[in-house]
Structure 1
């Protein structure tokens, strides 16, 4: 949900606001870190790495937007933002390779997230607002696919059968 809301902003519908930042802190950030810790207890290294990392991404993103307003840091320069997004894109690409042994749904989530980071880097590096808006729409698709994947995992577990397909897992 946090990804969708941020990308509704990226698509040009509204500015960064308290709703997006609050979702970044509590749902995108804190909740994902907790989910990652739970995955660690299940011996799921991929889930631990993905959830805690992206939880920290959201907390960092909020801090980058909030700290300058509090006078605690300078505003992040455009070059620094491009580097930040590029590093996250590279990290996501590496995680995408891990999804090749997981469901098709997770492959789509991570593949579309790699594309999203690439578009964000391209848009910010060039200052091209059209690319940034395209990134926003692509990010909405990415976020929606993550919601679908999460809900499918929950419903399939609750019902003990495939309610929403995730695609075959490659062994």
Structure 2
């Protein structure tokens, strides 16, 4: 019986995460306001594409990848939902201080996921370590109303997102050529 071989879904998830993270953090660093490009990336590439990658990681039996990609995919979808959900008598707009609490919860989740990378390559460890720092900076910045911390977080987030893009491209190119083209610190 022929068994169906599943391609590596990690590059798709990493690119969805990385590219969306870079775009949003260009905003956080103060270069642009939130644009429809960020919102669309948040829904479709950061959100839906990561969820799809997570489902395929689940099929492959990779609990870490399934948890990471589906969770961060839904992070992007909920973030866009927070920005654009209508308000009414039952639900008010999310104030920055409560957004900080939302981000802090994601930071705690990310810290635990970072511990899970200790058996993985250095590139993945860097992504989760820098993402933990990013969530901490954004949480504190929003809770305290500090534009300076959010700007610093923006630059740190650009680095975090770029590292995910690097790992995605390393996995694609290393897999394509069957050798290390881009090192990932195995």
Equivalent pairs, count: 168
Mapping for residues 5-154 of structure 1, pairs under 5 Å: 5-68=23-86, 73-154=91-172
Once the 2 structures are TM-superposed, how far is the Cα of residue 125 of structure 1 from its aligned partner? 1.6
Aligned-pair Cα RMSD in Å:
1.5
| CA gap 1:25/1:72 in 2 versus in 1, 3 angstroms | farther
Query: Do 2:50 and 2:69's aligned partners in 1 also have CA atoms closer than 8 Å?
Result: yes
Alignment gaps of 5+ in structure 1? none
Once the 2 structures are TM-superposed, how far is the Cα of residue 158 of structure 1 from its aligned partner? 1.0
Name the residue aligned to 1:159. 177
Query: Do 1:67 and 1:73's aligned partners in 2 also have CA atoms closer than 8 Å?
Result: no
CA distance in 1, matches of 2:143, 2:172: 38
Query: Do 1:155 and 1:164's aligned partners in 2 also have CA atoms closer than 8 Å?
Result: yes
| CA gap 1:137/1:86 in 2 versus in 1, 3 angstroms | same
Aligned residue for 1:76, secondary structure, equals coil
Alignment gaps of 5+ in structure 2? 1-18
Aligned residue for 1:74, secondary structure, equals coil
CA distance in 1, matches of 2:181, 2:90: 49
Once the 2 structures are TM-superposed, how far is the Cα of residue 17 of structure 1 from its aligned partner? 1.6
Once the 2 structures are TM-superposed, how far is the Cα of residue 103 of structure 1 from its aligned partner? 0.4
- Give TM-score, length-normalised by structure 2: 0.87
